[in-house]
Amino acid sequence: MRPVYLDNNATTRVDPAAVAAMLPFFTEQFGNASSMHAFGASVGGALKTARRQLQELLGAEHDHEIVYTSGGTESDNTAILSALETQVGRSEVITSVVEHPAILALCDWLEKHKGVTVHRIPVDAKGRLDVEAYRKALGPKTAIVSIMWANNETGTLFPVERLAEMAHEAGALFHTDAVQAVGKLPIDLKSTEIDMLSLSGHKLHGPKGIGALYVRKGVRLRPMIRGGHQERGRRAGTENAPAIIGLGKAAELALAHMSDEQTRVKALRDRLEQGLLQRIGNSFVTGDTDHRLPNTANVAFEFIEGEAILLLLNRAGIAASSGSACTSGSLEPSHVLRAMKVPYTAAHGAIRFSFSRENGEEDVDRVLEVMPGIIANLRSLSPFWKDKGAAKAAADTAFNPTYA
């Protein structure tokens, strides 16, 4: 049986067309783009094309606003570290409690070792940002705001365009981790006030280990990696030409498939979600279902362990995830669901299904076929399920989800 891959927020398959675009740059066209001979020149041209492809996907004004990096993590780190140096007299960072570890771990370190004050803006039960708390945190000391565009676990979207305007009113820079948004949502940076944006190749059917940081023209960037003059001195090191070219092709393909993502992929997600809620009691969808990525469903099944569900799904040839790939392996439920005050009895059993344009109806059918049995089986073994009342009373009751 064909495996069912529904973990596209963790990583995606490289599109075969992107692989084909990359291959010549490992063999015939192996030159260094900086070289003063024909070997370098042809690579330089291809890198330029890739930059244009990315510019178009982002709706950026200039192609040199794009700086290639090794991925989302490096882009995130670069943006914040740079702002703390260029924003003279400003030493505070504002972020949210539900960011990716690429932001949160850096902020923890800055706070602990560099004397940086970090404001972590909370979210409500649906994962929506507390905009009033954000307004209050902004001030003359704010160097940079870093708030994600789309959450990797729930798909919840933040109103980054408005948040960027508010940051500017306080004289702060605005960065967004858009790793999950790029390729899934139409983006037009030139019509926003966003100063910096992170993206990653492997989340949009491009290769791993390549990403980009968009830096608006006029915004100063202090490089994190120093060395040669590549990327106009903003990120040293010989360009990873095959990966950059693969990312460019992936960007072009993402733009071409954008409407598919918004319609067909979204319909698959919705059918899975509704089908699960209909078939399985004591389950609910987490996140802001009115403002969400089209591909992500995060469904909590009460009184069981997500890890056990994933194990049985895997046995049935289905790949999904419990929250983020970065926190699975730990016994704590996801920091995102905890921030939303999802009761422990439910947060432990939350499963993320993330689709891509490569999924089809048969994938949804397959999950709907096996999932009710898996859940019933695990619940029959769960001590919490037998004593639901007591387990619930013990859990945080601040959150009131709508049950199926």
Residues involved in catalysis: 326
Give dist(CA 117, CA 115) in Å, integer: 6
C-beta of residue 199 within 8 angstroms of C-beta of residue 175 = no
Give dist(CA 152, CA 323) in Å, integer: 8
In the complex with ligand PLP, the residue whose CB is nearer, 72 or 287, is 72
Stretch binding ligand PLP (CB under 6 A), from 129-137, 161-169, 173-181, 239-247: 173-181
Give dist(CA 387, CA 357) in Å, integer: 41
Residue nearest to ligand PLP (CB): 72
Q: List the interface residues with ligand PLP, window 372-401 (CB under 6 A).
A: none
SS3 state at 401: coil
Residues 6+ apart with CB under 8 A from 280: 301, 371, 372, 375, 404
Stretch binding ligand PLP (CB under 6 A), from 48-56, 107-115, 172-180, 305-313: 172-180
Give the rounded distance of the alpha carbon of 349 from its chain centre: 21
Among positions 77, 87, 176, 180, the unique one binding ligand PLP when judged by CB under 6 A: 180
239 binds ligand PLP (CB under 6 A): no
The number of residues making up the chain comes to 404
197 binds ligand PLP (CB under 6 A): no
SS3 state at 5: strand
Q: Are strands 173-177 and 66-69 parallel, antiparallel or unpaired?
A: unpaired
Stretch binding ligand PLP (CB under 6 A), from 35-43, 70-78, 165-173, 372-380: 70-78
200 binds ligand PLP (CB under 6 A): yes
Among positions 6, 67, 102, 371, the unique one binding ligand PLP when judged by CB under 6 A: 102
Tell the smallest beta-carbon distance from residue 294 to ligand PLP (Å). 16
148 binds ligand PLP (CB under 6 A): yes
In the complex with ligand PLP, the residue whose CB is nearer, 84 or 212, is 212
In the complex with ligand PLP, the residue whose CB is nearer, 223 or 372, is 223
Question: 């993502």: which residue's tokens?
Answer: 261
Q: List the interface residues with ligand PLP, window 314-373 (CB under 6 A).
A: none
CA-nearest of 189, 155, 188, 186 to 175 is: 189
Give dist(CA 324, CA 368) in Å, integer: 22
CA-nearest of 209, 251, 250, 233 to 34 is: 233
73 binds ligand PLP (CB under 6 A): yes
Tell the smallest beta-carbon distance from residue 200 to ligand PLP (Å). 3
C-beta of residue 323 within 8 angstroms of C-beta of residue 153 = yes
Among positions 72, 183, 242, 248, the unique one binding ligand PLP when judged by CB under 6 A: 72
154 binds ligand PLP (CB under 6 A): no
207 binds ligand PLP (CB under 6 A): no
294 binds ligand PLP (CB under 6 A): no
Give dist(CA 229, CA 141) in Å, integer: 32
Give the footprint of ligand PLP on this chain (CB under 6 A).
71-73, 100, 102, 148, 152, 177, 179-180, 200, 202-203, 211
